[in-house]
């Protein structure tokens, strides 16, 4: 069925915004792989350019949408919340910004500021030895804000099929991208693997949000994430190898070429999503926390066997895996109701009924 002009209103800007976030995801997975397999780094490597371009494209899309909404509002038009979310008056009511574009744009602006801080950090600490340096986490969180804004922009158009599909795709991109943020929890690892618990919390949040947003949303989002995992599994080692050949750099000795970032995405997510779907869609008060506990426990507990399998490493003592699964279940218990609430909030993003303040 062709998309008519009125149905497609808002689609171009939303697609450009999403394209920017996909650029960011490509740049991230490629850059992490590059450091692992090749090594030498400059400000202008191709993976870095993808990361900069991603935020630039998203930022310009957000700015354009805000300026267009402001101009229309000043000309007397009533802002339509389905075009990016409820209108927010900012800078002393000088601008009218659709909520999704406002959040996405703030993320892109914040990316610029953290980029400057990252440059200062390089001067003090040298080139980055690790992905989880404080400025990097600031940069990655800024992109995450842009991703959240993208989810809101598509969620606001949930009356259209493209809005529902776009929101689920954006949630999958958010889930794939934010796997890198769990690295920030590495220093907390002990008897319990904090990174695996954080990963479980993130996945339960997006799963519950997608399920509450639209019919079979959680399962469809998990399938989208699996597609992203499969594509980047092939892409990141391939792109690193081809780029290294193109610029005349050798691969590292002992570079295993296992996909680094894609290997972090839980492979069990689709099965877990199917398993907890009946609970997440149940009206019972305890169903969502129970679904979260089951999903959180399974996801946190299966992370270590997954990485041992991918990287051909030893399994830790069973006691540690079970303890991590238990903490994952507790965190999931809280994350699922929160995620479900976010999904319901998302359904209201394009609502035309006035808000109760």
Partner 1 sequence: MRKLAVLLATAGLLVATAPAALAYEPVNVVHTEKVQAGPYAVTVGFSAWPVRAMQSLDFTFAVDGGIAGKSGSIVFLPAADPREAWDEPLARHPRQREVWGLDVRAMDEPGDYAMRFLIDGPAGPGVGELADLHVLDQPGPPLGLSWAVSSLPLVGLVVFLVLAWRRTKGRLIT
Binding-site string for partner 1 from residue 268 to residue 307, where x marks contact by CB under 8 A and - marks none: ---------------x------------------------
Q: Which stretch binds partner 1 (CB under 8 A): 65-73, 101-109, 216-224, 317-325?
A: 101-109
Contacts of 318 (CB under 8 A, 6+ apart): none
24 contributes a contact to partner 1 by CB under 8 A: no
Contacts of 17 (CB under 8 A, 6+ apart): 57, 58, 61, 62, 65, 101, 104, 146, 149, 150, 153
- Measured in degrees and rounded to the nearest 5, phi and psi for residue 89 equal -90, 125
Q: For tokens 């994430």, what's the residue?
A: 225
For partner 1, which is the closer residue by CB, 138 or 289? 138
Quote the CA–CA distance of 8 and 23 in Å, as a whole number: 23
316 contributes a contact to partner 1 by CB under 8 A: no
Among 190, 312, 319, 355, binds partner 1 (CB under 8 A): 355
Q: Are 208 and 288 in contact (CB under 8 A)?
A: yes
Q: Which stretch binds partner 1 (CB under 8 A): 67-75, 141-149, 190-198, 224-232?
A: 141-149
Q: Are 205 and 175 in contact (CB under 8 A)?
A: no
Smallest gap from Cβ 40 to partner 1, in A, equals: 4
Q: For tokens 């969180």, what's the residue?
A: 141
Among 39, 256, 278, 313, binds partner 1 (CB under 8 A): 39
For partner 1, which is the closer residue by CB, 231 or 348? 348
228 contributes a contact to partner 1 by CB under 8 A: no
Contacts of 125 (CB under 8 A, 6+ apart): 133
For partner 1, which is the closer residue by CB, 111 or 233? 111
Among 226, 310, 326, 348, binds partner 1 (CB under 8 A): 348
Side-chain half-sphere CA neighbours of 177 within 13 A: 29
20 contributes a contact to partner 1 by CB under 8 A: no
Among 78, 94, 254, 314, binds partner 1 (CB under 8 A): 254
55 contributes a contact to partner 1 by CB under 8 A: no
Quote the CA–CA distance of 21 and 182 in Å, as a whole number: 19
Among 58, 82, 144, 307, binds partner 1 (CB under 8 A): 144
Lookup: tokens for 203: 């996945």
Among 1, 94, 124, 318, binds partner 1 (CB under 8 A): 124
Task: With H, G, I as helix, E, B as strand and everything else as coil, classify residue 39.
Answer: coil
Taking only Cα atoms into account, the Rg of the chain, rounded to an integer number of angstroms, comes to 21
Maximum pairwise Cα distance, the chain? 67
Residues near partner 1 (CB under 8 A)? 38-44, 103, 106-107, 110, 114, 117, 121, 124-130, 134-135, 137-138, 141-142, 144-145, 148, 249-250, 252-254, 283, 341-342, 344-345, 347-348, 351, 353, 355-357
């Amino acid at each position: 069925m062709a998309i008519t002009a009125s149905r497609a209103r808002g689609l171009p800007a939303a697609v450009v915004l999403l394209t920017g976030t996909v650029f960011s995801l490509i740049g991230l997975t490629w850059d992490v792989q590059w450091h692992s397999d090749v090594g030498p780094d400059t400000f202008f490597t191709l993976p870095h350019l993808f990361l900069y371009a991603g935020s630039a494209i998203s930022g310009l899309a957000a700015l354009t949408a805000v300026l267009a909404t402001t101009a229309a509002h000043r000309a007397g038009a009533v802002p339509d919340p389905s075009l990016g979310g409820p209108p927010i008056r900012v800078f002393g009511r000088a601008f009218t910004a659709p909520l999704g574009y406002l959040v996405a744009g703030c993320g892109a602006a914040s990316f610029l500021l953290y980029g400057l801080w990252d440059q200062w950090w390089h001067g003090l600490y040298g080139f980055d030895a690790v992905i989880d340096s404080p400025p990097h986490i600031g940069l990655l969180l800024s992109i995450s804000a842009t991703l959240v804004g993208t989810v809101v922009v598509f969620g606001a158009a949930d009356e259209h099929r493209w809005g529902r599909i776009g929101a689920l795709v954006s949630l999958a991109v958010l889930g794939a991208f934010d796997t890198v943020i769990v690295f920030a929890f590495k220093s907390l690892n002990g008897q319990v693997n904090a990174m695996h618990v954080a990963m479980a919390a993130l996945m339960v949040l997006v799963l519950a949000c997608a399920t509450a947003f639209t019919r079979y949303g959680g399962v469809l989002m998990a399938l989208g994430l699996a597609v992203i995992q499969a594509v980047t599994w092939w892409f990141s080692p391939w792109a690193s190898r081809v780029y290294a050949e193109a610029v005349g750099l050798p691969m590292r000795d002992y570079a295993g070429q296992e996909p680094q970032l894609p290997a972090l995405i839980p492979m069990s997510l689709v099965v877990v999503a199917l398993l907890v779907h009946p609970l997440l869609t149940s009206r019972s008060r305890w169903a969502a926390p129970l679904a979260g506990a089951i999903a959180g426990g399974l996801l946190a507990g299966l992370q270590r066997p997954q990485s041992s399998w991918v990287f051909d490493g030893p399994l830790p003592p069973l006691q540690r895996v079970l303890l991590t699964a238990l903490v994952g279940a507790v965190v999931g218990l809280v994350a699922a109701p929160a995620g479900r609430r976010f999904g319901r909030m998302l359904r209201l993003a394009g609502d035309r009924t006035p808000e109760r303040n």
